[in-house]
Amino acid sequence: MAVLLAVRAASRGVCCHLHLTPFASSTRSFSEKLTSKSKTERSGAESTVDHLIYTQEHFALKESLNKIIEQEINPFVDKWEEECMFPAHRVFKILGNAGFLGVNKPIEYGGLGLDFSYSVAVAEELGNIRCGGIPMAIGVQSDMATPALARFGSAELKKEFLQPTIAGDKVVCLGVSEVGAGSDVASIKTKAVRKGDDLIINGGKMWTTNGTQADWMCLLANTSEGPPHRNKSLICLPMKLPGIHIARKIDKIGMRSSDTAEIYFEDVRVPYKNIIGEEGMGFTYQMLQFQEERLWGVANVLTAMDNIIRETIDYTRQRKIFQQPILHHQTVHFRLAELQTEVELLRSLLYHATAMYIRGIDVTKLASMAKLKAGRLAREAGDGCLQFWGGMGFCSDVLVSRFYRDSRLLSIGAGADEVMLSIICKYMDTLPKK
């Protein structure tokens, strides 16, 4: 049973409710937990007394989530990776009960009402899951498919879709990409045509994470013939309707435990009132939604990179070549130091962008820079670390090889590196006008 504890978001003096699972609450109260582990006892990046964006509440939240990860997720990751599927409803219910699916969502719909820095803290902690697929699926549920609904949706839609999603009772997916349109979101072809009080949807979506298990989709579709940035709407689409066909579950080189679907719509009827916010504003809403998705993705991969660097240090310290540990070769420990330095630089950029974002400042440029750097650094770190494992790094059952495969997506999904570069250039006023 979830336990409700009053938590003061100290930095803001805001009172909110944090649902903690028995994992967090069984032995000690929340405040006891905070005081029992002194700040100086924490290790690594968490030892900072005056952290740039995290308070003690952030660290307590992370600690509580870590218990769920270690008890309810990590023991099953290998099995789920092998099966190319994880039980989203079961895992999300556990996370929903504990409040982790809506940390920055409104309290009235079951969220914790905290700011986005808490979502970043959660995303960082989820990086301790020993694969990329499950964190990504959780991120879709908490921070990729729901920000627009929480911000612009009607109370009725929030009650029907947001509340059960935050509770972990409904699984959501995000339907933006199509077979013919990924990077160029403006050119999507799926249509939702108004007929009386309904919309009739035809078209299809590609690469839909959680697509085979989802109860509803946050769908981007053309709702008029107008210019491509003004003719789209985001729509809450229940997935069990007649005319929705899951064409296939896509086989992938990485993110294997996360299901990815190709989906078709044939005369699917939904109420017109399922449009999120204003009709025609879907493109803009999705671009805003992307900011949180990108920052979330950066936060998540930072921890995963910390972990593969640490595991590489452990492995190379105990394995000897030419009468000394691999780690003692200067090229090895220097390279790992370089990688860790880059990780810390990226972390600083993330915290800077997050601090600005929660003050309401437009961070499109910084979020794009962070996403670009994260994709490239993850490729470098995966490749660099794997090299030092020798043949062991080529086996599928070590974390570093899984990271190598999973993290490749970061330079492609949620806007490819080149899309990030185009956005940055736009902000630098260097992109040639069409």
Which residues lie near ligand FAD (CB under 6 A)? 140, 173-177, 182-183, 207-209, 252, 255, 260, 409, 412-416, 418-419, 422
The CB-of-337 to ligand FAD minimum distance in angstroms stands at 30
Nearest to 288 by CA among 225, 347, 220: 220
The CB-of-139 to ligand FAD minimum distance in angstroms stands at 10
Contact criterion met (CB below 8 Å) for 129 and 74: yes
The CA distance from 104 to 149, in Å, is 13
Which runs of consecutive H residues, i.e. helices, occur in 98-162?
Answer: 116-126, 133-139, 147-152, 155-157
The CA distance from 75 to 120, in Å, is 24
The CB-of-191 to ligand FAD minimum distance in angstroms stands at 17
The CA distance from 382 to 192, in Å, is 42
Angle at 107 between CA 160 and CA 19, to 5 degrees: 105
**216-222 and 172-175 strand pairing:** parallel
Nearer to ligand FAD, 77 or 309 (CB): 77
Catalytic annotation present for 266: no
Nearer to ligand FAD, 25 or 223 (CB): 223
Nearer to ligand FAD, 98 or 174 (CB): 174
The CB-of-418 to ligand FAD minimum distance in angstroms stands at 3
**172-175 and 14-20 strand pairing:** unpaired
The CB-of-207 to ligand FAD minimum distance in angstroms stands at 3
Nearer to ligand FAD, 112 or 409 (CB): 409
Neighbours of 164 (CB within 10 A): 18
Contact criterion met (CB below 8 Å) for 260 and 252: yes
Q: How far does CA 271 lie from the centroid of its chain? A: 29
The CB-of-122 to ligand FAD minimum distance in angstroms stands at 19
Where b means 16+ CB within 10 Å and e means fewer, 177-205 reads bbeebbeebeebebbbeeeeebbbbbbbb
* 3-state secondary structure (DSSP) of residue 152: helix
Nearer to ligand FAD, 14 or 186 (CB): 186
Nearest to 250 by CA among 239, 242, 238, 258: 258
Q: Is 311 exposed, middle or buried (0-12, 13-18, 19+ CB in 10 A)?
A: middle
The CB-of-260 to ligand FAD minimum distance in angstroms stands at 5
- Closest residue to ligand FAD, Cβ-based? 182
Q: Which residues pair with 216 in a beta bridge?
A: 172, 238
* 3-state secondary structure (DSSP) of residue 390: helix
Catalytic hit among 57, 178, 262, 293:
293
Q: Which residues pair with 167 in a beta bridge?
A: none
Tokens of 138: 């959780």
The type of residue at 199 is: L
Nearer to ligand FAD, 56 or 422 (CB): 422
Nearer to ligand FAD, 114 or 138 (CB): 138
Tokens of 380: 């470098």
The CB-of-182 to ligand FAD minimum distance in angstroms stands at 2
Q: Map tokens 């959780």 to a residue.
A: 138
Residues that are catalytic: 293
